[in-house]
Amino acid sequence: MLIFDGRALSFAKARATECAHVEAATAQGDPDRYMRQVAEKVADQVRYLCEPAAWPRDLPATTAVTRLGEGLGIDEAAAHIEDMDACLVAFVGGGDNGGDALYTCAMLAERGKVVTAFLLKPNAHARALEAAREAGVGIVELSGRSLRSLEGTPEWNTICGARVWIDGIVGIGAHGPLTGELAETVTCLNEELRAHPKKVIAIDVPSGLTDDDGNVAGPILRATHTLAVGAYKRAQILPPAVEYCGQLRMIGMYWSGAHTDTTPDAEGRIGAGDLYYYDSDERAAAAVPIPAFADDKYARGVVGLVAGSDTYPGAGLLATRGSLASGVGMVRLNSTRRVQDLVLAAEPGVVMVGGRIQSALIGPGLDEDRREDALELAQFCGQSGMPLVIDAWALDLVPELVGTISPDATVLTPHYGEAARLLSALGHPTTREQVASSPLRCARALHEATGCHVVLKGPVTIVYSFEDVPLSRRAEADGENARRYADTRAGERPGLTRVYEPTVARVTTSWAGVAGSGDVLAGLIAGVLARPAGQDTASSPEGARRLLVTSARLSAAVFLHASAAQTAAMRRQGRAPIQARDIADEISSVLASIAQ
């Protein structure tokens, strides 16, 4: 069973956890103790981010080379270094997020910073406001007016002249998109940022980011840094909202209970509403194990591909190279003569005849002429329960394959457009725009419509996966709830319980979105699934085969692909394009750089 690097919480869960902390502080007669602890850590981060050394690494760039939002913009940073210690400005709302901001301002002022707080609501947190005044923070009261009303005044110049803004307008207490004067204020601030970029440090979440599935339905103040209080929130790591967070840092608040929910939902599933992030070089390396002393090519795994066509020959080569990078002992490629010649010229070890395989991939670069071979391999996998990856063109075959494939062993790897087309073909009319605005929701819908694992490719790729783990392990780990749940399914899967582990990898580069990049990923996933199951997979019940298609393996492949793209982009300082072949080439150096 998988425990990823961490669970990202829903806003409701985060609010409940935070409330418990506040209640405990209140019971001890100091209701703001927790808030001051948050503010102290925020103030430390703000001071650090104001230091010259932090600038070159931290300024954002739109073409990010990122670990979820971390940006590089070295030249712009250098230009601002001299006067970045000018004044700090905070925008303060009427809730506790504003309270955090005011205490933060007070602490910064006490440490010698020049700070001005703009109160956007008449009901700012009273004790925090008093502390800010006492510390010498400049206070500007908007009394409910939009910030736009200040344009042309000296206060407006203070806002524009600041190098660093602190966003305490709203946090996780906001419901729905921002409305009224707050919406206008945020729009106005974003306009100023577009004209004159600055550091924007969001306390907990960028103001306006309110949807657990990362949907962007209204104005959000675009942060360069987001300081997540206590735990990451789902919207901070999900596209499209992730783009507004900039570099994400955690403010540790000793939150407990941020583990997988063991309570089944209405349909009896565990963890289907959870979201994890994957950020582990070591775990990724475990998916590509060093061969054992006596391993021959068959022991290392053989992958069978139906990829490439006379219409799209290059896809056959790129998928092949993705598979080879996974360390399989052999790739068997079924393709046209033209593709075979192309592949053999680059990779003479590839075998063009059929035979024993441990996993399969159909789809990259296929055209109508390749339909029969793709269907045949899919059907073979369905009958044998062998892992099958369905990508690109072959995704259009899914509606006719639904009854024949083995969903537990099948992975669909659509991009947004393909996901929309497939969902529509399966009876759920969906546009590409709808997928782009709520990719997690659509990945889940695709799983529900097909039963398959889904790798939804995008700026941040989502792995919507699950495992059937032995009841004994689940119960050991999670206690009574799981035991009760498993009993209800005993007739269906005796001894097993289904656990969902939707995951995003915390690494990305926008240079990865290039033709053929997905072919490499599909090949890599199929290759990883052909490798012998080892430490990286969940254990199966006594006597059963070890599980091959797991969240851990799929996430590892996605992570390696993104890391390879990022490393290739970094070789060019993130400023020059990379090609799909660069990603394939870089996978082995990423693996080589990871200590095993």
Ligand X SMILES: NC(=O)C1=CN([C@@H]2O[C@H](COP(=O)(O)OP(=O)(O)OC[C@H]3O[C@@H](n4cnc5c(N)ncnc54)[C@H](O)[C@@H]3O)[C@@H](O)[C@H]2O)[C@@H](O)CC1
Ligand Y SMILES: Nc1ncnc2c1ncn2[C@@H]1O[C@H](COP(=O)(O)OP(=O)(O)O)[C@@H](O)[C@H]1O
Residue 500: closest CA among 554, 424, 459, 559: 554
Other Cβ atoms less than 10 A from the Cβ of 259: the count is: 13
User: Smallest distance from the beta carbon of 434 to ligand Y, in angstroms?
Assistant: 17
Question: What tokens appear for 522 in the block?
Answer: 């599909």
For residue 458, say whether it is annotated as part of any ligand binding site: yes
DSSP state string for 358-419: SEEEE-TT--GGGHHHHHHHHHHHHHHT--EEEEGGGGGGHHHHTTTS-GGGEEEE-BHHHH
Single-letter amino acid, residue 378: A
| Cβ atoms 213, 438 nearer than 8 A | yes
For residue 459, say whether it is annotated as part of any ligand binding site: yes
Q: With respect to ligand X, which residue has the nearer C-beta, 97 or 323?
A: 97
CA atoms of 77 and 53, how far apart (whole Å)? 10
User: Smallest distance from the beta carbon of 295 to ligand Y, in angstroms?
Assistant: 29
Residue 93 contacts which entry, ligand Y, ligand X, none (Cβ below 5-8 A, type-dependent): ligand X
Residue 22 contacts which entry, ligand Y, ligand X, none (Cβ below 5-8 A, type-dependent): ligand X
Query: How many residues contact ligand Y, by CB under 6 A?
Result: 17
**Exactly one of 203, 377, 395, 397 binds ligand X (CB under 6 A); which one?**
203
CA atoms of 126 and 365, how far apart (whole Å)? 63
Residue 240 lies near ligand Y (rule: CB under 6 A): no
| Cβ atoms 6, 277 nearer than 8 A | yes
User: Smallest distance from the beta carbon of 34 to ligand Y, in angstroms?
Assistant: 37
Interface positions, 492-531, toward ligand Y (CB under 6 A): 508-510, 512-513, 515-519, 521
User: Smallest distance from the beta carbon of 521 to ligand Y, in angstroms?
Assistant: 5
User: Smallest distance from the beta carbon of 255 to ligand X, in angstroms?
Assistant: 12
Quick one: DSSP state of residue 569?
H
Question: What tokens appear for 555 in the block?
Answer: 């996430």
CA atoms of 521 and 549, how far apart (whole Å)? 15
Residue 172 lies near ligand X (rule: CB under 6 A): yes
**Exactly one of 8, 43, 107, 229 binds ligand X (CB under 6 A); which one?**
229
User: Using CB under 6 A as the criterion, what x/- string covers residues 244-273 for binding ligand Y?
Assistant: ------------------------------
Residue 176 lies near ligand X (rule: CB under 6 A): yes
Q: With respect to ligand X, which residue has the nearer C-beta, 18 or 281?
A: 18
Q: With respect to ligand Y, which residue has the nearer C-beta, 171 or 314?
A: 314
| Cβ atoms 426, 448 nearer than 8 A | no
The stretch among 167-175, 300-308, 468-476, 535-543 that binds ligand X (CB under 6 A) is 167-175
Q: In 159-255, which ranges are E strands?
A: 164-168, 199-203, 225-229, 247-251
Single-letter amino acid, residue 412: L
Residue 97 lies near ligand X (rule: CB under 6 A): yes
The stretch among 31-39, 84-92, 284-292, 351-359 that binds ligand X (CB under 6 A) is 31-39
Query: How many residues contact ligand X, by CB under 6 A?
Result: 28
Those residues whose C-beta lies under 8 Å from the C-beta of residue 254, and which sit 6 or more positions away, are none
- Cβ-in-10-Å burial (0-12, 13-18, 19+) of 317 comes to buried
CA atoms of 185 and 583, how far apart (whole Å)? 42
SS (H, E, C) 59-102: CCCCCCEECCCCCCCHHHHHHHCCCCCCCEEEEECCCHHHHHHH
**Exactly one of 73, 171, 206, 523 binds ligand X (CB under 6 A); which one?**
171
Cross-strand bridge partners of residue 138: 116
User: Smallest distance from the beta carbon of 104 to ligand Y, in angstroms?
Assistant: 33
User: Smallest distance from the beta carbon of 41 to ligand X, in angstroms?
Assistant: 10
Q: With respect to ligand Y, which residue has the nearer C-beta, 415 or 453?
A: 415
The stretch among 14-22, 53-61, 153-161, 262-270 that binds ligand X (CB under 6 A) is 14-22
Residue 35 lies near ligand X (rule: CB under 6 A): yes
Interface positions, 457-496, toward ligand Y (CB under 6 A): 457-459, 461
CA atoms of 211 and 276, how far apart (whole Å)? 16
CA atoms of 378 and 389, how far apart (whole Å)? 9
Q: With respect to ligand X, which residue has the nearer C-beta, 121 or 531?
A: 121
User: Using CB under 6 A as the criterion, what x/- string covers residues 402-421 for binding ligand Y?
Assistant: -------------x------
Interior CA angle at 47 toward 45 and 52, to 5°?
Answer: 110
CA atoms of 413 and 526, how far apart (whole Å)? 11
Interface positions, 370-409, toward ligand Y (CB under 6 A): 392
The stretch among 38-46, 67-75, 431-439, 454-462 that binds ligand Y (CB under 6 A) is 454-462
For residue 460, say whether it is annotated as part of any ligand binding site: yes
The stretch among 30-38, 58-66, 412-420, 490-498 that binds ligand X (CB under 6 A) is 30-38
Residue 11 lies near ligand X (rule: CB under 6 A): no
For residue 457, say whether it is annotated as part of any ligand binding site: yes
Interface positions, 36-95, toward ligand X (CB under 6 A): 38, 93-95
| Cβ atoms 199, 239 nearer than 8 A | no
For residue 208, say whether it is annotated as part of any ligand binding site: no
Enclosing H/E stretch for 304: strand 302-306
Residue 18 lies near ligand Y (rule: CB under 6 A): no
User: Smallest distance from the beta carbon of 555 to ligand Y, in angstroms?
Assistant: 13
DSSP state string for 252-289: -------S---S--TTS-BSTT-EEEE--HHHHHHTSP
Q: Which residues are annotated as a binding site for (6S)-NADPHX?
A: 315, 365, 415, 519
Q: Which residues are annotated as a binding site?
A: 315, 365, 415, 457-461, 518-519
| Chain residues that interact with ligand Y, rule: CB under 6 A | 392, 415, 457-459, 461, 508-510, 512-513, 515-519, 521
Q: Which residues are annotated as a binding site for AMP?
A: 457-461, 518
| Chain residues that interact with ligand X, rule: CB under 6 A | 18-19, 22, 34-35, 38, 93-98, 100, 121, 170-179, 182, 203-204, 229
